[in-house]
Amino acid sequence: MDFVNDVIAWKRDGHELDAGRLRAFVDGVVNGSVPSYQASALLMAMVLRGLSDTETVELSRAMVESGKMLDLRVVRRPVLDKHSSGGVGDKVTLVLAPLVAACGAVFGKMSGRGLGHTGGTLDKLESIPGFRVQLPQGEFVRQLERIGVAVVSQSERVVPADRILYALRDVTGTIECDGLIAASIMAKKVASGTAALVLDLKVGRGAFMGDLHHARDLGRLCRLIGDFYGRPTTCIFTSMEAPLGRTVGNRLEVEEAWQVLRGEGPEDVREVTLNLAGALLALSDLGVDETEGRRRAEAALADGRAAEHFERWCFVQGGRWKPGEFHRLAAHQTRASRAGYLTGVDAMAVGQAAQIAGAGRRRIDDTVDPAAGVLLERVVGDRVDAGDALAAVFSRDPARRAQAAAVLDRAFTIGEEAPQRGRLMLGRMEVEG
């Protein structure tokens, strides 16, 4: 107890925590010898004083070693992964995972659930009847060997320290620390056996990071940890001022992802996916650069291989996939108050409306309604007349639907002149070496 007090005071006074102190802290959190009030105090000191590069790497190392590490070398090929920092309407993994496999590489991901206004890949996959997100390790590996793609829930034995610390950060106002965020992201990727990684770091109103400078700082720290563990990491920065695509909600997003896999669907979802696919395939064992990787990904979307791999992936993980076959809930339509051009769609407001409707959760133990969500009828740049439908919010609960509609109604800005098209792809950090 006295040791932990000394560590808290040491960081409070602005000193750097060495590997031994960080290891003792993380081990104590996991085994219960460090009570939550002391862990929260040290987390607050980290937020207020910040973490150095060395502290960030050593914290991630202690977190990795707090539980089981998966060894995916038995697959005998590099297992690629992608992480998104969270956005509204971000269904990219649903397209990217089978697309990478269709191009001949291996994509394996341990994913999480949505919290707050951002969606979670597991919730989206579970909107497909029968889809199993919990697989034993042996089955996970065999599926990667067999079809080249698997997305599963995070094992409780992998990085248990992160699960405990994140829960504390969520209720103590200590989320906002780049070192803690980078350590959390990368510890899970390293421990889950990822060989190479592309980070899709979202920037804008609907993202955790509001500006590109902040996103670059986080990307640099993630790259630093990746380099330490020999995990090549590419960071791609994408805009999240407006929702990605036209749907926000679990089954709605799966349906839209299916459209993209068939060579159709919204251009912004397609563009982000192809950029990430090119970057991932360049990190694979296929011997291609990003230009060739993107070309192969475009071909796989065009000739139907990506859609076939999605269907096969769903079947192998127990999903009964039938596009279009789900019950549409009662909807409220948001309509244009006047004529003009749609100059803005507030991603945060749309995400909050979908959450309220039942597509998201405020607490990790909340349940979600797979059919709830928001469908955008118009996007930024469209010309509208007074009374035109802008969006629909779906919910089975009339009270939720009314509350969500009130939030959604405030998401749209109409102006006199057509807006300039904003950039979707904001930049990147290449793998060094």
Q: Hey, which residues are catalytic here?
A: 83, 162, 169, 184, 188
H helix count then E strand count, the chain: 16, 13
Please state, in angstroms and rounded to a whole number, the distance separating the CA atoms of residues 199 and 221: 12
Amino acid symbol at 5: N
E strand or H helix at 238: strand 233-239
Beta bridge partners of 373: 394
Alpha-carbon distance values, 387 to 245, 390, 407 (Å): 22, 9, 18
Closest C-alpha to 194, from 273, 278, 101, 284: 284
DSSP 299: H
Q: What are the residue ranges of helices labelled H in 290-334?
A: 290-302, 305-316
> Burial of 287 by CB count in 10 Å (0-12 exposed, 13-18 middle, 19+ buried)?
exposed
Closest C-alpha to 374, from 322, 409, 343: 409
DSSP 332: E
